[in-house]
Chains A and B, each alone.
Chain A
Amino acid sequence: MSTDFDAIVVGSGISGGWAAKELCEQGLKTLVLERGRHLDHPSSEYTDFQAPWDMEHRGMVPELYDEQGRYLMLKRKGWTYRNEFIQFFVDEKDHPYSYPEDRPFMWTRGYQLGGRSLTWARQSYRWGPKDFEANAKDGHGVDWPIRYDDLAPWYDHVEAFAGISGAQDGLPDLPDGDFLKPWEMSCAEDFVSANINQNFDDRHMIIGRCANLSETRDVHTSLGRGTCQSRNYCMRGCSYGAYFSSLSATLPAAERTGNLTVMADAIVSEVVFDPETKRATHVKVIDYHTKEERLFSARVIFLNASAIASTHILLNSRSETTPNGLANSSGQLGNYIMDHFGHAGANGTVPGFDDRFEFGRKPTGIYIPNYRHDRREEQGFHRGFGFQGGARRSRSTHSGTRAGIGAEAKSGVGDWQTWSFGIGMFGEMLPYADNTVRLHPTKTDAWGIPLAHLDCHIRENERKMIRQAEIDAVELLTAGGCTNIASARTPDDEHVLVGGKTHEMGGACMGHDPSTSVLNAWNQTHDAANLFVTDGACMSSCGTANPSLTYMALTARAARHAVELLKEGQL
């Protein structure tokens, strides 16, 4: 196998898949290096055709794992701790990282071809103009070197290929796109939404936009992708290719160009830098099984290992000229780690629809985008939050956790419950320079690489948002016409696990100024022009909307720029 390529992409998840597709389609011989195992599509590891009774252990994760101290963080995550897709998540016992004992960090990873594109919840929203202006306006973090208009055409580009379903909502802070037809709201959601929209000028409840093919276009069918079957089993992998993943979409598109080489079980430990040419020349790879080390070279290198992992690779790329890591002349590498945070919400019942039902399991919920931009004076905190949630009507069940036996316990099981509706907040964490990832000074993993050490916590600004979000959630449900409303929030003195929303961002932020940021407006490192970072590490702020669509747009934009620079002979 050749060790020299036009381009190397590190990581094959959401952003790496996009880098590979764009670079291959532009004619570059591209090597994708993936630390996890190879997976086909459809894969024998998919479990999407299993009914509940067909699933191994009926979906329960083996108890043995508890005894062996495995998957402890994934277990804390709760809803993702299921046996039918645990194979797509990393066990931190095998792949440890560290954090201060009193400030745990939740780093949820997927080490396989396709990364977390297999298990993401597919919520896909453009960020609005205010999201890119926020740092400049309130002075937190580093000003984004781009604005919404720079990214808008690239949102168009990635949405058309990925297939995003959604409505044309016409909201100023949540731009529309060229969407596939939206999923239908349930009658209960329609009711709540109409009431909210009637009662508030600034708060809107819309159907969730998601990367599930509610219908197909040629661009999808040409890759063998089919229409979504409303199963909501997406985290198990989808044999129809009906949700966007690297396996169903970007990697096959890259593959058909004939320019793609994929190498699995290849752990990138560092990027090699030539101080004379100021170029990244090689990546060092450690074989997962044999631990053999190899070097691969390319004219452009894209880091897409995910926010923490790409930052970690750069930190570990130490040499005489880069003793604190590559692309760290600003000293800002590893700073400004962010995540969305939840920790407040409400639920209630939706009266009046007891004779109405839903059929099918739609793979999305509802969205109430951030309506609190620019209200610092009035609300006492910067930035804001949105809500995600939905309504459901299920049959009563008995999980054996309450009193009652025999016919009495069974009576009522299977009866329809009334519609319930719930929402949870997604708050914007401010970029704090001292929320960091660093190399652990002494501990290493099984391949001799220093562990990533994460030290992050939320501050008073976020606590204020959590308090306000609980109040707002109740207001929204009340205005929405719900009854029996109950709300909850995490108490002020309880640690909020950063990483809990799996939207980790920052670490190698974009900025105008090489002395205060790691990447320029095109995601090139200021210190090595042929080295690009286009995953969540590049984000200078974290907004409130799910970020992956933005990573896709930034990646496609940066890849096209890299190709232009190559053509111009600048790289």
Chain B
Amino acid sequence: MNAGVLATAGIVLSACGRGEDLPLETTLGTSFEYFPPHQAAILSDVADMLIPQTETVGAADTETILYLDQLMLKWAGERTKLEIEDFIDSLEAEALARYQSNYLNMPEDKRKEFLQEIDAASFSENLDTVPVKSYRRVKWLIFHIHYTSEAANPDFVLIPGQYTGNVSEADYLALVDENRY
């Protein structure tokens, strides 16, 4: 997919509406206060695709979208709210246009491929289109929330108690261990 295709998604969307009748095979929903279940499910899936669990924690482990949900209530302005809506709408519209499927109904490998294309397009050309901007915004938020979480910062030390500017890695790790709590 290229950014041009992505950019047309908004138009396609107006024909397919908000997708209230999308099938939502999800256990998510109970703890979300801002996002309706289908939005929460899409965002959670996207976050997990962007930052999967590998040898380090993923966005699901750090409950990134749950935190985003709280940010929407207390922090987000209209711009971010709109951008997230735009992102979800564009994603759904594009999935329909290209795969004749709702995003969540696509098989996992297809969803991943799809997101990879969106990502590549969003960082190459046509940076000013609504879908590109909204994707970049969502991506930034997901990465920010994930990488400021406790689990993603295993060697953060709140109160180092001392400064030393020339130690080996082994000594550094020992100091982290000693001073973590």
Chain A residues in the interface with B (C-beta under 8 A):
49, 51-53, 56-60, 62-64, 66-67, 183-190, 229-231, 355-362, 397-407, 409-411, 413-414
Contact = CB atoms under 8 A, between A and B. Distances in A.
Interface in B106-126: 112, 115-116, 119-120, 122-124
A356 B160 contact: no
A398 B49 CA distance: 15
Interface stretch (B9-17, B24-32, B86-94, B148-156): B148-156
12 contacts: A63-B75, A67-B77, A231-B160, A358-B172, A359-B172, A360-B161, A362-B165, A398-B147, A400-B50, A405-B49, A405-B112, A407-B52
Interface in B47-88: 49-52, 54, 56, 67, 71, 74-80
A51 B160 CA distance: 12
A410 B136 CA distance: 17
Nearest to A393: B165
Interface string B121-134: 01110000000000
> 7 closest A-B pairs (Cβ-Cβ)?
A400-B143, A63-B77, A186-B165, A360-B163, A360-B160, A403-B123, A187-B166
B142 interface: yes
Nearest to A186: B165
B42 to A, nearest CB: 15
Interface of A is mostly: loop
B169 interface: yes
Contacts of B148: 52-53, 58-59
Given A64-B77, A359-B175, A398-B147, A409 B163 contact: no
B54 A400 contact: no
Instruction: Report, as a range, how many residues of chain B touch the other chain.
Output: 35 or more
Given A62-B74, A63-B75, A231 B158 contact: yes
Given A359-B175, A398-B143, A185 B123 contact: no
The listed residue with most B CB atoms (<10 A of its CB), out of A62, A359, A362, A406, is A359
A230 B164 CA distance: 10
A360 B161 CA distance: 7
Contacts of B159: 229, 231
Contacts of A188: 165
A187 B168 CA distance: 11
B140 interface: yes
Contact of B164 (A359, A401, A409): A359
A161 to B, nearest CB: 24
A58 B145 contact: yes
A411 B56 CA distance: 10
A357 B120 CA distance: 35
Given A63-B80, A231-B159, A399-B143, A358 B166 contact: yes
Contacts of B158: 49, 51, 231
B135 to A, nearest CB: 10
A359 B163 contact: yes
B11 to A, nearest CB: 25
Given A58-B144, A63-B75, A187-B165, A400 B139 contact: yes
A410 B142 CA distance: 13
B96 interface: no
Interface of B: 49-52, 54, 56, 67, 71, 74-80, 112, 115-116, 119-120, 122-124, 136, 139-145, 147-150, 153, 156-169, 171-172, 175-176
B41 to A, nearest CB: 18
A160 to B, nearest CB: 23
Given A187-B165, A231-B159, A405-B119, 4 more contacts: A359-B175, A399-B147, A403-B122, A406-B49
A359 B160 contact: yes
A361 B150 contact: no
A8 to B, nearest CB: 40
The listed residue with most B CB atoms (<10 A of its CB), out of A56, A356, A404, A405, is A405
B151 to A, nearest CB: 9
Contact of A63 (B54, B76, B136, B162): B76
A364 to B, nearest CB: 10
Nearest to B77: A63
A481 to B, nearest CB: 16
Given A356-B167, A397-B147, A57 B75 contact: yes
Nearest to B158: A51
Nearest to B165: A186
Contacts of B156: 51-52
Contacts of B157: 359-360
A215 to B, nearest CB: 12
Nearest to A184: B165
Contact of A52 (B153, B169, B171): B153
A63 to B, nearest CB: 3
A405 B54 contact: no
A286 to B, nearest CB: 34
A59 to B, nearest CB: 7
B160 A230 contact: yes
A185 B75 CA distance: 39
Contacts of A51: 150, 156, 158
Contacts of B145: 58
A355 B52 CA distance: 30
Contacts of A49: 158
A400 B146 CA distance: 10
B158 to A, nearest CB: 5
Given A183-B163, A184-B163, A190-B166, A399 B54 contact: no
A361 B163 contact: yes
Nearest to B78: A67
Nearest to A185: B165
Contact of B140 (A63, A64, A189, A401): A401
Given A58-B148, A67-B78, A405 B115 contact: yes
Given A63-B76, A405-B119, A410 B163 contact: no
Contacts of A409: 50-51
B90 to A, nearest CB: 16
A400 B52 contact: no
